Amino acid sequence: MRGDIGQKQNFNTDGARTRSEVAADTTCFGINLLKAARYINLIAGTCLTVVSGMGIFNIFQDFNLFRNFGVMALNLFECLFGVIIMSSSFNLPCIKRNFFFLLTGIGKGVFNIFVGSLLFLNSGGAYTILGFGMIGAGGVFIFLSKFKNMTDDDLHRALSIYNDVSKKQMKQGAVNLAKNNKDVIAQAAYDNKDVIAQVAYDHKDTIASAAYDNKELIAETYIRQQNNQTPTGF
């Protein structure tokens, strides 16, 4: 393989966008807009559920159900919307079955702006803060979809909280599997060295793209391995 991987290149395999390209599209003024919107969305959805639930509880506690029926109905809807927003952040199956529009950038943005606007009907500073936060997050989702060329699949993968957890679990599982079977892997690699060499040559562009996208992780792993080596005596 040529030694020019270190140069900054935009590799593209079968029209797929690399992770570096997606990350660049979500960054504005040094801020990762998608990550900020994701956490604002999750926090706002959680707070909305809690605050609305407390409002409903207070109405029942004061025995003012009929006098405040409109307020209670509004709190019920807001609590439901908060649960939906939290569920979409965790990529629960019910969202894909019943709220497919939340899997798109435009749909998620419009829904956030709608719920955020609805919060201004309530009295209280907490609702106002949540309303501005949700409208801002909704605007970010629409901006990324329309002006930053971010596909719905990119947005769906990046917004899934389980995505980060799954990546860590899979990475640790792969490391443990390799450690426990290093002798078997080494023998299999030796027995199939010709096949491996041919496959590596046939997919050299893909390998170069993966190496470039993960260059920081590779460098960090190499440094960690060097630091873990037992120092030899002089």
- Phi first, then psi, for residue 13 (nearest 5°) are -115, 115
| pTM as predicted | 0.54
| CA atoms of 54 and 46, how far apart (whole Å) | 12
Confidence at 114, pLDDT banded by 50, 70, 90 = very high
Residue 200 has pLDDT above 60, yes or no: yes
Residue at token pair 């702006």:
113
pLDDT above 90 covers a percentage of the chain that reads 2
Structure tokens at 101: 């529009």
Give the length of the chain: 234
> How high is the pLDDT of residue 198?
76
> How high is the pLDDT of residue 7?
43
Q: What angle do CA 150, 155, 159 make, to 5 degrees?
A: 150
> How high is the pLDDT of residue 79?
87
> How high is the pLDDT of residue 99?
82
**Cα→Cα distances 156→22, 100, 192, Å:** 13, 11, 38
Task: Tell me if 102 sits within 8 A of 84, measured CB to CB.
Answer: yes
Residue 19 has pLDDT above 60, yes or no: no
Which whole number is the average pLDDT over 167-172? 57
Structure tokens at 111: 């829904």
Q: What angle do CA 221, 227, 231 make, to 5 degrees?
A: 145
Which whole number is the average pLDDT over 25-46? 75
> How high is the pLDDT of residue 9?
42
Which whole number is the average pLDDT over 13-41? 61
